[in-house]
Amino acid sequence: MNNRILVIEDNEQNLYLMRFLLEKNGFAVIGAENGRKGIELALSSRPLAILLDIQLPEMDGYAVAAELKKHGELDQVPIIAVTSYAMVGDRERILSAGATGYIEKPIDPDTFLTEMSQYLPKKRNNKEDENENSGCR
Ligand code: MN
């Protein structure tokens, strides 16, 4: 199963925190400290999802999202913006640039995983998980 999450984030502490929370929950984290590297890694590693900081050097998150959307092979990969911008207009701007959703900074360790998970592709529509532990004899 693809459990790779690409995190494009230039702030070391934020990257560290997201990596910690994701790895603790069974995801493999690929980190990129700028947009160019992030786009390269998105294409080469085909992650399950991309967490994208907005305030990045040189190429900001809006530009990165727009560039990622040009690659049809990444169609099914949600882009989740991680933004400290509180203004409604900025949210709309990142969503129209191609983001699937956004998570607000500062990252809250208690809610980060739940927030992120709502944007992940839904794989199972059946009751397999529930039945696994039902102990049929
Ligand atoms: Mn940043």
pLDDT at 59 over 70: yes
Query: Which stretches of 4-137 are assigned E, i.e. beta strand?
Result: 4-8, 28-32, 49-53, 79-83, 101-104
Its pTM surpasses 0.85: yes
pLDDT at 15 over 70: yes
Of residues 87 and 80, the one with the higher pLDDT is 80
What's the pLDDT at 27?
98
Dist. CA 95 → ligand 1 center (Å): 18
Dist. CA 59 → ligand 1 center (Å): 11
Looking at CATH, the fold of the domain delimited by 4-134 is given as Rossmann fold (3.40.50)
Per-residue pLDDT tens digits for 112-128: 999 999 999 887 544 44
> What distance in Å separates the CA atoms of residue 110 and residue 33, rounded to the nearest whole number?
24
pLDDT at 87 over 70: no
Dist. CA 12 → ligand 1 center (Å): 9
Dist. CA 92 → ligand 1 center (Å): 19
> What distance in Å separates the CA atoms of residue 92 and residue 94, rounded to the nearest whole number?
6
Domain residue extents for the chain: 4-134
